[in-house]
Amino acid sequence: MITLPYILLTIIWFALIAYAVFGGADFGAGVWDLLAFGPNEDRQHEIIDQALGPVWETNHVWLVFLVVGLFSAFPAPFAVIVVVLFIPLTLALIGTVLRGAAFIFRTHGLRSEKHWFKMWSRIFSFSSVMTPFFLGLSAAAVASGQIRVRGTPVETNLGSLWLTPFSLTIGLMAVTLCATLAAIFLTVEATNTKEAELAEGFRLRGLVAGALTALLGAIGLLLSSSSAPFLWNGMVGHALPLVIATMLIGLAAAATLFFRYYAIARVLIVAETAFILGSWGVSQIPYLIPPDVTVDAGAGPPSTLLLLLIGIIIGMALGLLEKGREEERREYGNSNCVWPCSIVLRSTRHIRRGCSGSSPVHGTPCSSGEKRCSSEKFCCRGQHDRIRCSGRNCDMPVCNNAAD
């Protein structure tokens, strides 16, 4: 039965997948930054900086959404997890902060100072390994079924739950999966800049990291039968089709990377990451914290869940609206256009493309009584039909004298 807690958990799980893909690729880039070597070592650092520069901070929005969503929709399980796993989660948070700070310091203004650049690069790389390792380790601790809520006081665990062979294996697998994502993404990046030698180097690293991910995944699968029995029973039961699909997608990603179909490999490694997390989530149903807390039992009040869902829908609508405005700004070149301008430009888009004066453009002439703008791209009926953006102000000149 589809209930409100399951709807919200699905949305939160998609946020987890998005963070694993985009944030994971960022973390993996730090791994390859640490292992950069050879005659083109400096260029390897540069292409990593170029790939991360526009998006590294934005990708943390998924983590913020994930944490806030989990805290709001499932407050009691959230409290248990952050208390019991306080140490690994704190280490993951420290790694996230150090990584962001180090990337900024080493990228802006310190590249010419070799000593400082090298120091911040090492901090960036080690924290990029540290964060996914402890996040993966924490996830394995939850899936293991060893966190008990009923009958025992909830207190911070010092390592007996999250330093098991199963948890350590999944933590290492999280690191190698991030490295695989980054290697394939960077292969595509190097291919787009026509740097064949660099692309080949990242391709080989992607194959090695992918093989290690598969090996660690197989070890984790074997260990789960005794270390995470609830997860194991779900994987060989109702989630078995997803588990098989995950294996097949992984093989397909390796094959396309091996035969140099880089764009397809990038799509498949994203799908592989999504299916790994999807298999885990479906295998664990109906538990949030097995075996004591189910999804329905751990959910907050229905009124809170409903308001949260409404807020998410509104936020998504505003995000899509802003995305449309961004596309519009790219098309018209009005990067600082305020709302009145955007509305009119949108409403006259067909005019801009359709006519110029009395001569047809794309087969559509101006209507009777319309004039031609000086830009020869708009047909206007009067003074207020043509709006042009200047900075953050909208000017409304007479159509004949309007500049594009």
Pairing type for strands 293-294 and 287-289 reads antiparallel
Q: Which residues does 60 contact at the CB level (< 8 Å), separation at least 6? A: 23, 96, 100
Residues of the chain with pLDDT > 70, as a percent, come to 78
Rounded to whole angstroms, the Cα distance separating 112 from 343 reads 47
Predicted local distance difference test score (pLDDT) of residue 100 = 86
Cα–Cα dist 317/294, whole Å? 31
pLDDT of residue 324: 74
Predicted local distance difference test score (pLDDT) of residue 107: 76
In a 13 Å sphere around the CA of 228, the CA atoms on its Cβ side amount to 31
| Mean pLDDT value of segment 298-315 | 94
pLDDT interval class at 264 (50, 70, 90): very high
Residue boundaries of the structural domains of the chain: 4-300, 335-401
Separation between Cα atoms, residue 189 and residue 178, nearest integer Å: 16
Q: Is the distance from CB of 29 to CB of 128 less than 8 angstroms?
A: yes
15: exposed, middle or buried (Cβ count in 10 Å: 0-12, 13-18, 19+): buried
The CB-side HSE value for 163 (13 A sphere, CA atoms) comes to: 6
Position 260 pLDDT exceeds 80: yes
Q: Residue 249 above 90 pLDDT? A: yes
**pLDDT at res. 173:** 97
pLDDT at 336 over 80: no
Torsion of CA 81, 82, 87, 93, to 10 degrees: 120
Helix (H) or strand (E) run with residue 88 in it: helix 86-107
pLDDT at position 320: 83
Q: Helix (H, G, I), strand (E, B), or coil: what is residue 110?
A: coil
Distance CA 1, CA 193 (A): 50
Taking phi first (over 0 means left), then psi (-120 to 50 degrees means alpha), and beta for anything else, what does residue 159 get?
Answer: left
From the CA atom positions of the chain, what is the Rg in Å? 26
Q: Count how many residues are written for the chain.
A: 404
pLDDT of residue 227: 93
Q: Which CATH number fits domain 4-300: 1.20.1630, 3.30.450, 1.10.10, 1.10.357?
A: 1.20.1630
Please, what is the average pLDDT of the chain?
81
Give the model's pLDDT for residue 341: 38
**For residue 67, how many C-alpha atoms fall within 13 Å in the half-sphere facing its CB?**
8
- Across the range 23-46, mean pLDDT stands at 88
CA 80 to chain centre: 26
Whole-number Å distance between alpha carbons of 262 and 243: 24
pLDDT in tens, 179-188: 999 999 999 9
pLDDT tens figures, 318-331: 888 887 776 665 55
> Per-residue pLDDT for 364 more than 70?
no
Contact 243, 279 (CB under 8 A): yes
Mean pLDDT of 12-23: 94
The mean-pLDDT minimum among 160-164, 213-217, 315-319, 323-327 falls in 323-327
pTM: 0.79
**Residue 257 above 80 pLDDT?**
yes
pLDDT digits (tens, 9 = 90+) for 117-126: 788 888 999 9
The mean pLDDT of 135-143, rounded to a whole number, is 95
**Which neighbouring-strand residues pair with 313?**
none
Cα–Cα distance, 337 to 359 (Å, whole number): 29
Contact 187, 203 (CB under 8 A): yes
Q: Measuring CA to CA, how many Å separate 389 from each of 206, 284, 302?
A: 47, 54, 46
Provide the pLDDT confidence category of residue 39 given band limits of 50, 70 and 90. confident
Q: What is the DSSP letter of 113?
A: -
Mean pLDDT across 68-93 = 95
Q: At what angle do helices 24-34 and 196-227 cross, to 10 degrees?
A: 110
Give exposure, 266-285, as e/b (b: 16+ Cβ within 10 Å). bebbbbbbbbbbbbbbbbbe
- Contact between residue 144 and residue 284 where contact means Cβ atoms under 8 Å apart: no
